[in-house]
Structures are given as structure tokens and as C-alpha cells.
Amino acid sequence: MRLRMILRLVLLPALLAGLAGCDTTAGFGPGPVSQAPRDVPPPEPVIAEPSAATRAARDYYAKVEANYLAQDLLRADGGGDDTPFGARDLAENFIRIAFFDEFAERGGQLVPEAVENRLHRWAEPIRLEVEFGASVPADQRARDRAEIAAYVTRLSKLTGLPMRMSGWRPNHSVLILNSDERQTAAARIAALAPTTGAAAIRSVTEMAPETYCTVFAFTPGQTATYTRAITVIRGELPDRLRMACIHEELAQSLGLVADYPRARPSIFNDNEEFALLTRQDEMMLKMLYDPRLKPGMTLGEARPIIEAMAAELMGGAS
């Protein structure tokens, strides 16, 4: 079983002050005179030798992936005739995935808890930066950067939200870390988001073997608009599992926050049938950023709009 989580966290004033000087339109069109500097390629990394723990983890997750593939899981086809769904399915799946939190912090621990919440999403452009642990191989870094860049472009087209890869004042940091690097990542996470709770940090530094990746999204105060996100992915994962994490965590960070076991075809469940974004997932992302929905809407306010959107996307089919 693969556990994936998104925890909505609050940005307190101390962190907001550090972000207040950002030009959120820079790089996406006309803006102030002060423009973002051109992104330059990072210098060639110095690759460290992987630890024994990292080598063991690579072997373990290679066997996990092979087992999934032998069962025809981790599909990359987006769904087909064997995965039919109608407008009612789409609406209900969207509601369960966008309006219910999957985890909560209780007694210093993250625990599964499905609680209804308001609609959350981004309003400002996303500038996403990828950071790698020192022992992540150079060829993997190149592949992951290219895959993430292409996926970010795809997500931006689906949602209409400006998104790009950028090291200039990034507001979404993707950390791809091997075992030792993840265990010592507390200081880096705290630097990126100082108000991250102890339980959230422990979920990274003490990540259980069955957890492959996680994402934290941050809102200022009691608002429902995201302004910061951190994704952490195990660097030891083989290609298909790593891509599954990239696809789900980046999509979840946009506001599709929960897993729902009845959603099919979808990456937003724990059955591992699909590794990559499906056609239904694409529809849910379009719904999430449809201007008829607003951040902070309750489920009661949004339900009739959701049902209308689902019917439109499915051509009226129920």
C-alpha cells in the first residue's frame, strides 16, 4: 500500500513577511519595472556516493514496482473502455477529493481523518523549483527535471493557472531525497516554511517504508488560498513509482487534496491502478479552477455548480 498525503498548514505572519516582497506576476506577463532575473541552468552537481540504506531502499522499491507491474497496476494509459464513469461519478469523486481533508495532526502525530473542509486552491502563479539530495544520480536528476517541467506545463494548461519552473523566489519546492538526506531534511523544510509543525516534519524525516511521497500546502491565516507548498519524494523510487509521486503530489498541491477509493480511473486513491494523471483527473483539475468556484466555498455552496460542470464535461451523460 502506498500512502500519500497533503496537509493544509497555516503560514503565520513571520513567514508572510518573508514572502511579501514577491512579484507574483513576474515572468508571466506585464508587471512592475523590477522583473525576475532570467533563470540560468544550475551548476553541474557533485554527486555523493549513496549510503548502504539508500542502496537497500533502491533494491526494495524496485521489487515493489515490479510486483505492481506484474499485476497490471501503475497504468499509464489514462483509462479506457474498462474504466467508464459518468457525470454523477465525476461530481461525487470531485467532492470527495476536493472538499475533504485526508490527514490531521492529533497529539503530535499525523492521523488519517476525513473531515469536510472548504475549497482550497491557488490564486497566484506558481514558481516551482526542484532540489535533489546529494546522492541522487545525475541522469536521474536530468530525467526528473524534464518530466516535472513537462508536467508543470500540462497542469498549467489544464487549470489556466500560470505555472513554471523557476529558481527565482519559488513558492513550491520539490525535494527529491534519498534516505540519509531525507532523515536530515528538518532544517531545510523549516527554512522553506518556518511554521511547519513537528508532526509534518517527522512524517518526512521518519517516513515509513510504505510512504513514498508527501506534500504540504500552506495558506495565510484562515484563508483558503494556497501561497506555498513543499513536496518530498523518495529519491530511491524506480522510474514509474517516482513518476506516480510526481503526478499525484503536484496535482494534490493544487487543491485535489484527498484520496477516494471509489474514484476510477484516477490517481487519487490508494489502489495503485493508475500511476499517471487520467482523463477523469484532468476533468477534476479543470473543475477545481473553473471561475464559477471560489476559494473558501463550502460544499453546500459549491455542490450545484459542481454537478453542472460535471454534466457539461461529460456532455450531459449521467
Distance in angstroms (rounded) separating the CA atoms of residues 164 and 166: 6
Cα–Cα distance between 53 and 135 in angstroms, integer?
A: 12
**Rounded (10°) CA dihedral 193, 199, 203, 205:** 70
Cis? peptide before 265, omega within 30° of 0: yes
What sign does the dihedral 168-173-177-181 (CA atoms) show?
positive
Residue 104, number of CB atoms within 10 A of its CB: 15
> According to the model, what pLDDT value does residue 8 have?
54
pLDDT band at residue 67, thresholds of 50, 70 and 90? very high
- Decide which of 32 and 300 is more confident: 300
CA dihedral for 270, 272, 278, 282, sign (positive or negative): positive
Give per-residue pLDDT as tens, 164-186. 999 999 999 999 999 999 999 99
Assess contact for 189 and 201: CB atoms under 8 A: yes
Cα 204 from Cα 206, distance rounded (Å):
5
Backbone angles phi, psi at 129, to 5 degrees: -120, 140
Question: Is the pLDDT confidence value at 157 over 50?
Answer: yes
How confident is the model over 20-30, as pLDDT tens digits? Answer: 233 222 222 33
Q: How far apart are alpha carbons 114 and 240 in whole angstroms?
A: 28
In this prediction the pTM is 0.86
| Integer Cα distance of 252 and 103 in angstroms | 13
pLDDT tens profile 236-264: 999 999 999 999 999 999 999 999 999 99
> Which pLDDT score, from 0 to 100, does residue 45 have?
75
49 by Cβ neighbours in 10 Å (0-12 / 13-18 / 19+) ranks as: exposed
pLDDT per residue as tens digits for the range 116-146: 999 999 999 999 999 999 999 999 999 999 9
Buried b (16+ CB within 10 A) or exposed e, 105-115: beeeebeeeee
Bridge partners of 8, per DSSP, are: 217
Q: What are the DSSP E strand ranges found in 136-286?
A: 163-165, 172-177, 213-220, 225-226, 228-234
User: pLDDT tens, 197-217?
Assistant: 999 999 999 999 999 999 999
**Digit-coded pLDDT (tens) for 301-316:** 999 999 999 999 999 7
Mean predicted confidence (pLDDT) in 72-97: 97
